[in-house]
Structure 1
Amino acid sequence: MGQLKLAKAKGTILAELKKIERADLLILDDFGLQPFDAQSRASLLDIIEDRHQKRSTVVTSQIPVKEWYDVIGEKTIADAI
């Protein structure tokens, strides 16, 4: 998420999201160790939507899925993810 924030500041966010979308396998390791801010939530949703039914995504976390709502911080986006 830090790289995506930097890319947004540089104006290269779309190129970064495209690179992530094209990766055959995306591994989100240690998901949810830090809560998401609004920009990170939106980026995560974009990534998941872009990859849905196209490429593989693996999410690993020590946080139970039922607690992801609190980590993601917005119920509607958490449902979509």
Structure 2
Amino acid sequence: MGRRVMYFNTTTLFTMLKTSKADGSYLKEITKLEKQDLLILDDFELKPLDNINRHSIMEIIEDRHGKRSTIIASQLPFEAWHQIIRE
């Protein structure tokens, strides 16, 4: 249908983003995520967020807010997210 969609298990996404910070391609990866019409993040919060991952997820959400669609799937109830993210 001509829409750009990316799907990530969040553990895989966070590993990719940490690697991209190490090799200098972080901004390129974040820009690629921002440009997708739909970004699907699955298994959110199966592992606790460290400071690096917390910053990355907030940056992704802020960059996409009001511009593109994002689906975040989690086994945790939404009410528990604030405690987990701690931001």
Q: Same fold (TM over 0.5)?
A: yes
Q: Share of identical aligned residues, percent?
A: 50
Q: CA RMSD in A?
A: 0.9
Given the two structures, how large is their TM-score scaled by the length of structure 2?
Answer: 0.80
Query: 1:12 — aligned with what?
Result: 25
Query: 1:64 — aligned with what?
Result: 77
Structure with bigger strand share is 2
Structure with bigger helix share is 1
Letter in 2 for 1:4: L
Q: 1:33 & 1:66 partners in 2: Cα distance?
A: 15
Show structure 1 runs of 4+ deviating over 6 A. none
Would you say how many aligned residue pairs link Structure 1 and Structure 2? 74
Unaligned residue ranges in structure 1 (runs of 5+): none
Given the two structures, how large is their TM-score scaled by the length of structure 1?
Answer: 0.86
Q: 1:17 & 1:64 partners in 2: Cα distance?
A: 27
Unaligned residue ranges in structure 2 (runs of 5+): 1-13
